[in-house]
Amino acid sequence: TQTVSQSDAHVTVFEGDSVELRCNYSYGGSIYLSWYIQHHGRGLQFLLKYYSGNPVVQGVNGFEAEFSKSDSSFHLRKASVHWSDSAVYFCAVNNNRIFFGDGTQLVVKP
């Protein structure tokens, strides 16, 4: 059984701060790991994904994520957040079926 755990339901930071949104997964085989963003009242949009190679992957709008096999993690980071980054972020594990975490709501205060 694949599981995706996002330990923080809510994260609040100030504009210009760095942020890390955590994701841990459990799966024994080869998988793709992804992050999606959902702005209020809209559908999910793809941010980035990892399958193999360089464990640090770059996404849109300055986001990056780092894969760690030893920690079974795929944390999302941004060095300097903007108020427009306020949204819900979903981590996902995909291998023909896609499993989503419960999401982390990021609030960026001015």
Partner 1 sequence: EAAVTQSPRNKVAVTGGKVTLSCNQTNNHNNMYWYRQDTGHGLRLIHYSYGAGSTEKGDIPDGYKASRPSQENFSLILELATPSQTSVYFCASGDWGGSQNTLYFGAGTRLSVL
Could you list the residues that contact partner 1 (CB under 8 A)? Answer: 32, 34, 36, 41-46, 49, 51, 90, 92, 94, 96-98, 100-103
User: Environment class of residue 97 by beta-carbon count within 10 Å: exposed (0-12), middle (13-18) or buried (19+)?
Assistant: exposed
Q: Which is nearer to partner 1, 15 or 59 (CB)?
A: 59
Q: Which of 28, 45, 31 is nearest to 88 (CA)?
A: 45
Two structure tokens written together for 27: 């799966």
Of the two residues 15 and 38, which places its CB atom closer to partner 1 in the complex? 38
Which residue(s) pair with 26 in the sheet?
3
Considering beta carbons, is residue 43 or 110 the nearer one to partner 1? 43
Question: How many angstroms separate the CA atoms of 21 and 9, rounded?
Answer: 10
> Minimum Å distance from CB 12 to partner 1?
18
CB of 42 to partner 1, least distance (A): 6
CB of 13 to partner 1, least distance (A): 22
